[in-house]
Chain A
Amino acid sequence: MAKIAVGIDLGTSNSCVAISRRGRVDVLPNAFGESTTASVVNIGADGSITVGNAAKANIIHDPHNTIYSSKRLIGRYFFSDEGKKARAVCAYEIVEGEGQSVRIKIRDEVFSLPEIGAMILRELKSIAESRLGQPAAHAVVTVPAYFNDNQRQATKDAARIAGLDVLRILNEPTAAALAYGFGRGLNQRVAVYDLGGGTFDISVLEIGEDVFEVLATAGDTFLGGDDFDDRVIDFLADEFMQREGLNLRNDPYALEKLKVAAEDAKKALSLEDEVHIRIPDVIQGPDGSPRSIERTLTIQEFSSLVTDLLQRSFKVCDEALQQAGIVARDLDGVILVGGPTRLPVIRQAVREYFQQEPLTDVDPDEVVAMGAAIHAESLLSEATESVLLDVTPLSLQIGVAGGLTEPVIERNTPVPIEQTRTFTTFKDHQESVVIRVFQGESREASENALLGQFEFSGFQTGRRGEVEIDVTFEIDTDGIVSVTARDRRTGEQASTRLTLSSGLSDAEMSAILERGVADRVETAAAIAPSAPAATVPAGKPGLVGESDDVLPDADLDLVPLSPEDLELEKDPGLDAMPELETDPDLDAMPELETDPDLTPALETDPHTGPELTPAELDTDPLAGAPVGLGDRSAFAEPVDQSELAPDAQLGEMPITVEVDSSFAVTEIELDGPIRATAAGSATAASAADGRDPDDGLDLLLEDEVIAGGDLDLDDLTSLEDLSIESDDAESLFDARVDDLSEDPVGKD
């Protein structure tokens, strides 16, 4: 039997699988004859797993054990906005996993997001196998173009857990463009407006016969059809609150009923001008009497509820067009992707924005899987018939002094690409360097996604400034980032797949494969009478296909830094700049040389500033600014043993504290758990635990908590328990202590 490869669109709300055979593309329907399968997972009391519409039917009566929209959480941190939002609205339990990852707890079993994704992928794999009558071990899996490295890596992990060999992670809009233009010999510029269940992407492509070049892509991973549903939910809940004085949002069962009704109403409005919404017995009143919702929703009402969401999408379109250097009228076509684009209110808005009739000859629910299938066939065959030239959607940046970042590879740069920057040590006999990698467009490190940090040691040490370390950043065709460091003198080399706080380490991955949750999926395909799937052996995770494509060869887990470790920094010249990023023991500013060819040898003494190149001038607007609450600046003058600013009052959270070298927090008590963020680095110890302060807990700059080491800040119940110390008077850092109990956990 010839090897086959399928294309899988793993969607927020629905997923789809397709196959291309000699250019003929078929969407493979599930056992119920549906071309898409709900991306919903239900875990039964006996531990059995069901996926799809059968699982979705459980949302109302078994909301705690039914997982939907999990794509919104994949590759995210527990404390991210999306994590917070999910905790507020989802009936299933969301818990924090290792490295602040998001985990889902169902009936005492904790699942990682890649495992949830794997269950859905396994179902799609089974659908394909039952339809094709042979194993489908290879796949092209699509992701939103705007997914960052964390999310891509997590998706790739999901496929691996499902027992799939991922030929390629493909961007959804690119797949759609391929499905539209493949084999047609077009010479066109097209835009793909992709509004999915949970994400929005816009890509602008130039199609030159067999070449599909993405000129620019932009997106919003917080905008999708779910948000349209939410507007209807809010509308109905608010109205109900006004009328009945009862808050439906506090009742998970009522909320799920509302959710189902809202989604149905939205769908009905793609065909009708108004829809009758009826939810009998949505909740019980205080007297135990059943209360209901019954009203008509017109398309005008719906339209006014979602106008701002559409405007948000067009702002993103403006950005993409501008980056592509074209205007809307230069486009030869606009391709609509995603179920929500069936809505007349959206079609109308798109028509007005692009000043043209959008193309409707492709099915918005199937086009992505079809494109993925075409590419999958192309990758398996010897003669590739089309070339996809994609770009990286987000700028890759490195962390530099002052909580800032410096771009290495800007967004919309074609991939694969590799860029090298040269760093040097700032201290005599320095033994290791740390590079922190971000994705995003902000100069502020905290506003970008932290991909991970990379430590390089084992190079030949020397006097400061003598060592030259080439750090190479690579983004591959899947959009996945890797980092390599090399000592110029010795050629000593180390490389790593960025180990992500939200991803899975190799050890975790092994444990997950061992656990084999994907094998527990009871596929509808297997139950369906027409399905020969029962004869198809389930894929053995990790053993299929060309495993060398699954993981990079050299994986290197990152280890917490010891105080001896040093981080390279951007600019040694800004002698007023007190920021220190990860290490309390640095006795001087570390330095980073952007490029020896461009910037001649940098001054080694941080207190005699070398001439600044223009790019460096704006690195430190805050140096020397006074210390104060809520201010991200730091002391210019070192002060010993400064305490938490005495004015800090309970209830005035979040508190920002800037300290030069050390501080101890006393006398403030909080009820809730504590979260601490430090720009710079600190040795933290829990007084309650009586732990040695030299344990070396590193607090890294991030918008969320990052607590390395083994001290769990969440265990602390009062600020008394926490002290952050540094014994180096010259190193500076700032720290922020938040009271989580004050943290609003509401919908965004």
Chain B
Amino acid sequence: MSRLQATEIQALARVIGEIDYYQLLQVPRGAVAGEVRKAYHHASRSFHPDANRHLPPELRQAVQVIAKRVAEAYSVLRDTRRRRAYDQKLDAGEGVRIQLAEAEARAERDSVESGGRTPQGRQFYKLAERDLRREDWSSAARNLQTAMTFEPDNPLFQQQLAAVKEKLR
């Protein structure tokens, strides 16, 4: 196991708020899942709290901070939906960190904006949109209902279905 010098730990802890997840895990932007996992393992060998129990308290604390950020980075980069949300945030210069719930919310919003997060959901939602343009409410309701079998909790589908049901009444 590689023993880290105190100075290395301190240096990383100092810039942890400024480097992005790719820099932290030392992977390129296009890294595939396997590379991200390897990088996570590599970083954990150095920074997992178990591997640094014998450091003086202040260094242990620095290691804790780094380890938690490494886990966060991995949680985001290994998940394509979260990663896309993170990349957008990064590109927009909105920060180097994304909270997991925030990544989920952004991903959810993206999937709503693109009319669903599953191919089938999107397909039936498209059909429903066509029906809506034709004002064929009952067909729209059926298609939305079908779309919801693939994405039961899609708020866009729910909202539209409620609106269509209102029309039908």
Which A residues contact B (CB, under 8 angstroms)?
A: 168, 206, 208, 210-211, 213, 375, 378-379, 382-385, 387-389, 406-410, 413-421, 474, 476-477, 594-595, 597-598, 613-615, 617-618
Contacts and interface: CB of A to CB of B under 8 A. Distances in A.
Contact of B75 (A417, A421, A617): A417
B101 A594 contact: yes
Interface string B92-108: 00110001111011101
Nearest to A389: B44
A595 B102 CA distance: 7
B71 A415 contact: yes
A172 to B, nearest CB: 17
Given A211-B44, A387-B45, A597 B51 contact: no
- SS of B interface (majority): helix
A382 B51 CA distance: 8
B159 A208 contact: no
B68 interface: yes
Interface string B74-114: 11000000000000010000110001111011101100100
Nearest to A398: B101
20 contacts: A208-B38, A208-B41, A211-B44, A213-B37, A213-B40, A385-B1, A389-B48, A408-B101, A414-B40, A414-B71, A415-B71, A416-B68, A416-B71, A417-B68, A421-B99, A474-B68, A595-B101, A597-B102, A598-B106, A617-B155
Contact of B49 (A378, A416, A618): A416
Contacts of A383: 1
B99 A419 contact: yes
Nearest to A418: B68
Contacts of B101: 406-408, 419, 421, 594-595
Contact of B72 (A213, A378, A418, A618): A418
Contact of A387 (B51, B75, B108): B51
A594 to B, nearest CB: 7
A474 B64 CA distance: 11
Contacts of B27: none
B158 interface: yes
B18 interface: no
Nearest to B106: A598
B100 to A, nearest CB: 6
Given A378-B50, A382-B54, A614 B99 contact: no
Given A614-B105, A614-B156, A618-B155, A413 B48 contact: no
Contacts of A598: 102, 105-106
A295 to B, nearest CB: 49
4 A-B pairs with the lowest CB-CB distances in the bound complex, closest first: A617-B155, A414-B71, A418-B68, A211-B41
A474 B51 CA distance: 19
Contacts of A384: 1, 50-51, 53
Contact of A213 (B41, B89, B95): B41
B123 to A, nearest CB: 20
Given A413-B75, A416-B68, A597-B95, A211 B45 contact: yes
B12 interface: no
Given A210-B45, A378-B50, A416-B64, A617 B158 contact: yes
A554 to B, nearest CB: 14
B9 interface: no
A719 B48 CA distance: 55
Interface of B: 1, 37-38, 40-41, 44-45, 48-51, 53-54, 64, 67-68, 71-72, 74-75, 89, 94-95, 99-102, 104-106, 108-109, 112, 153, 155-156, 158-159
Nearest to A618: B155
A634 B99 CA distance: 33
Nearest to B109: A614
A615 B108 contact: yes
A167 to B, nearest CB: 8
Contacts of B64: 416
A514 to B, nearest CB: 29
A615 B111 CA distance: 11
Contacts of B108: 614-615
Q: Which of A383, A407, A419 has the most CB of B within 10 A?
A: A419
A210 B44 CA distance: 11
Given A382-B54, A617-B159, A387 B105 contact: no
Contacts of A415: 71
Q: Which of A206, A594, A598, A617 has the most CB of B within 10 A?
A: A598
Contact of B44 (A387, A410, A617): A387
B3 to A, nearest CB: 8
A23 to B, nearest CB: 15
Contacts of B156: 614
Contacts of B72: 417-419
A477 B89 CA distance: 29
A421 B102 CA distance: 9
A661 to B, nearest CB: 29
Contacts of A421: 99, 101
Contacts of B68: 416-418, 474
Nearest to B103: A598
A60 B159 CA distance: 62
Contact of A413 (B38, B44, B100, B158): B100
A206 B67 CA distance: 19
A444 to B, nearest CB: 14
B21 to A, nearest CB: 13
A83 to B, nearest CB: 32
Nearest to B159: A617
Given A210-B45, A388-B48, A614-B156, 20 more contacts: A378-B50, A379-B53, A387-B41, A387-B50, A389-B41, A389-B48, A407-B104, A409-B100, A410-B100, A416-B49, A416-B68, A417-B68, A419-B100, A476-B49, A477-B49, A594-B105, A597-B95, A598-B102, A613-B109, A618-B155
Given A421-B101, A595-B102, A168 B50 contact: yes
B22 to A, nearest CB: 17
A388 B51 CA distance: 10
A385 B106 CA distance: 39
Contacts of B53: 379, 384
B99 A420 contact: yes
A545 to B, nearest CB: 12
A420 B98 CA distance: 10
A389 B50 CA distance: 10
A615 B104 CA distance: 9
B94 A413 contact: no
Contacts of A413: 71, 75, 100
Q: Which of A168, A206, A375, A418 has the most CB of B within 10 A?
A: A418
Contacts of B100: 408-410, 413, 419
A598 B44 CA distance: 30
Contact of B105 (A375, A417, A420, A613): A613
A614 B155 contact: yes
A417 B127 CA distance: 43
Contacts of B99: 419-421, 595
A476 B68 CA distance: 9
Q: Which of B74, B105, B109 has the most CB of A within 10 A?
A: B105
A208 B48 CA distance: 15
Contacts of B45: 210-211, 387
Contacts of B159: 617
Contact of A388 (B1, B50, B75): B50
Contacts of B49: 416, 476-477
A195 B110 CA distance: 41
Nearest to A595: B102
A123 to B, nearest CB: 28
Contacts of A388: 48, 50
A620 B142 CA distance: 24
A416 B66 CA distance: 10
A488 to B, nearest CB: 15
A142 to B, nearest CB: 15
A340 B97 CA distance: 46
Contacts of A594: 101-102, 105
B81 to A, nearest CB: 12
